[in-house]
Amino acid sequence: MLPNHEFSPLGDSGVIVKLGDVIDQTTHEKVVTFSECLQKNPFPGMVEFVPGFTTVTVYYNPILLSDPGSDVIPYEHVLAILKKMSEQLPERYAREARLVEIPVCYGGSFGPDLEVVAQHNGITSEEVIAIHASAEYLVYMIGFAPGFPYLGGMDERLSTPRRSSPRLSIPMGSVGIGGSQTGIYSIESPGGWQIIGRTPQSLFQPDENSPSFLRSGDKIRFHPISEREYEERKKVSS
């Protein structure tokens, strides 16, 4: 079995598979690879799986796996399947990462905390935009809210603490910085991240077969646009 693989029950219908101790590229590739294996080879009774930073949580229906003539409980049955899958896990996943460009209108009413980030790090607002838009980010996982991407790869020069008092409502599409991470609010929701801009790109479409625009393993780049471009693109996407 590959190192750093741990398994623990989550109630009577879930298993948490821990694939590493550190949030990094190596652990992320294991998470994506394991998820791909589950996607391609779902076992009878599996309901869904949820990738995280270092884990994949697998949910199953214990009723479908119950066998009155066997002493093996559903958890042990699923555990055996997942352990065998982890032993046969390929070193890298076959799926090529998508590179997605996200347009962002920085500052102004769309990015009320842009100057806060600049002042905290001793740089100008223009430098914040340039640094933020020059990096390539990895989508570690989707969480917090439907379609919300947790991104890795932000330059430490932009690291800024969350707001001491969270806002009750953050507009959909807002791009924020929280600590050493950056992310995009996929829906309108409360939040405490420093908001530096907004994208017209919709990240969550509940009526689609794949509601989340982004997925774990994607890579994204931010592309600065003007307020006029934002409004034009917003009209097209709405």
pLDDT at 91: 65
Output DSSP code: residue 221: E
Contacts 24+ apart (CB under 8 A), 185-192: 185/145, 185/148, 186/145, 186/146, 186/147, 186/148, 186/149, 186/212, 186/213, 187/145, 187/146, 187/147, 187/148, 189/145, 190/166, 191/166, 191/167, 192/162, 192/163, 192/165, 192/166, 192/167
| Nearest of 123, 92, 117, 89 to residue 175 by alpha carbon | 117
| Nearest of 28, 184, 193 to residue 101 by alpha carbon | 184
Give residue-wise pLDDT tens across range 3-48: 568 999 999 999 999 999 988 888 888 998 999 899 999 999 999 9
More confident residue, 209 or 52: 52
**pLDDT confidence bin for 123, thresholds 50/70/90:** very high
Flag whether the pTM goes above 0.85.
Answer: no
Average per-residue pLDDT in the chain?
Answer: 91
Please work out, in degrees rounded to the nearest 5, the angle formed at the alpha carbon of residue 31 by the alpha carbons of 29 and 32.
Answer: 65
Instruction: Calculate helix-pair angle for 114-121, 125-134, nearest 10 degrees.
Output: 90
pLDDT at 184: 96
* Residue 1: how many other CB atoms lie within 10 Å: 10
Residues 6+ apart with CB under 8 A from 120: 160, 161
Give residue-wise pLDDT tens across range 40-83: 999 999 999 999 999 999 999 999 988 777 778 999 999 999 99
The secondary structure element, H or E, covering residue 27 is: helix 25-40
Phi and psi based region of residue 68 (left: phi greater than 0; alpha: psi -120 to 50; beta: remaining): alpha
The upper half-sphere exposure of residue 11, i.e. CA atoms within 13 Å in the direction of its Cβ, equals 8
81 in helix, strand or coil?
helix
More confident residue, 120 or 90: 120
pLDDT at 1: 44
Q: Give the Cα separation of 133 and 144 in Å (integer).
A: 23
Give residue-wise pLDDT tens across range 175-205: 999 999 999 999 999 999 999 999 999 999 8
**pLDDT confidence bin for 210, thresholds 50/70/90:** confident
pLDDT at 216: 86
- Portion of the chain with pLDDT greater than 70, in percent: 95
Q: Give the Cα separation of 50 and 46 in Å (integer).
A: 12
Give residue-wise pLDDT tens across range 136-170: 999 998 987 889 999 999 999 999 999 999 999 99
**pLDDT confidence bin for 97, thresholds 50/70/90:** confident
Burial of 235 (0-12, 13-18, 19+ CB in 10 A): exposed
Q: Give the Cα separation of 219 and 180 in Å (integer).
A: 17
Query: What are the structural domains, with CATH classification, of the chain?
Result: 6-87 (3.30.1360.40), 99-237 (2.40.100.10)
Per-residue tokens: 215: 């997925």
